[in-house]
Structure 1
């Protein structure tokens, strides 16, 4: 550790040694829509993965889809989760926006 590697300062508290940048995952550009219940105590959730956009655009898309469906949701690891089974509504909305969409799973 050299003298220039500041780890702690009384001015601002703990300072990270190196900021980690989140890399955008490589995808084929096809948005896959699934209905999942595993690990959610039987509650159905619609998940969207494979978006080829940065985190702010994914978050904005999630917000728009939640408003359209009238439900809650979240973004976790570049995967949008919308509560309930809204696959058909979401597919139509994304196709109108010009995205390539596939329904995945059963």
Structure 2
């Protein structure tokens, strides 16, 4: 990952060992699926009335979240995206996604 400013408001430092270009530490290990708590719900706000199934609550690396999103999209046979730590699938697949996640070993709850 590219180096980013850790403190963007820093103008000057007298510390000779200060390094503002440190890389972010994204080495967050993904816990086992049985230790994760995922929430599945429908949403149609600001989508012109079209329903979207959303899975939220995933903790772990972004690559693992993208892989899970890819599995869900292929098993449901729909399009979708992974943004801001959420998986969005086009359409009403709340029960199907819930069953798939339970089969994969995740703790799930259906909201709404």
Q: Same fold (TM over 0.5)?
A: yes
Q: TM-score, normalised by structure 2?
A: 0.70
Whole-Å separation in 1 of the counterparts to 2:50 and 2:21: 40
1:55 corresponds to 2:66? no
> Which residue of the partner structure matches residue 13 of structure 1?
none
2:94 is matched with 87
The match for 2:42 is 35
Pairing 1:97–2:104 present: yes
Q: Following the alignment from structure 1 to structure 2, what is the Cα–Cα distance between the partners of residues 58 and 96?
A: 17
2:84 aligned to which of 60, 63, 77: 77
> SS where residue 81 of structure 1 aligns?
strand
Give, in whole Å, the separation in 1 of the partners of 2:22 and 2:70: 28
Q: Please report the RMSD computed on the Cα atoms of aligned residues, expressed in angstroms.
A: 2.3
Return structure 1 stretches of 4+ with deviation > 2 angstroms. 17-24
Query: CA separation in 2, counterparts of 1:20 and 1:39?
Result: 36
Give structure 1 stretches of 5+ with no counterpart. Answer: 3-16
Q: Across the two proteins, how many residue pairs are aligned to each other?
A: 88
TM-score (norm 1): 0.73
Greater strand fraction, Structure 1 or Structure 2 = 1
Q: How big is each residue's C-alpha offset from its partner over 1:29-80, in whole Å with a ceiling of 9 and x where there is no partner?
A: 3100010000101010000000122100000010111011110000110100
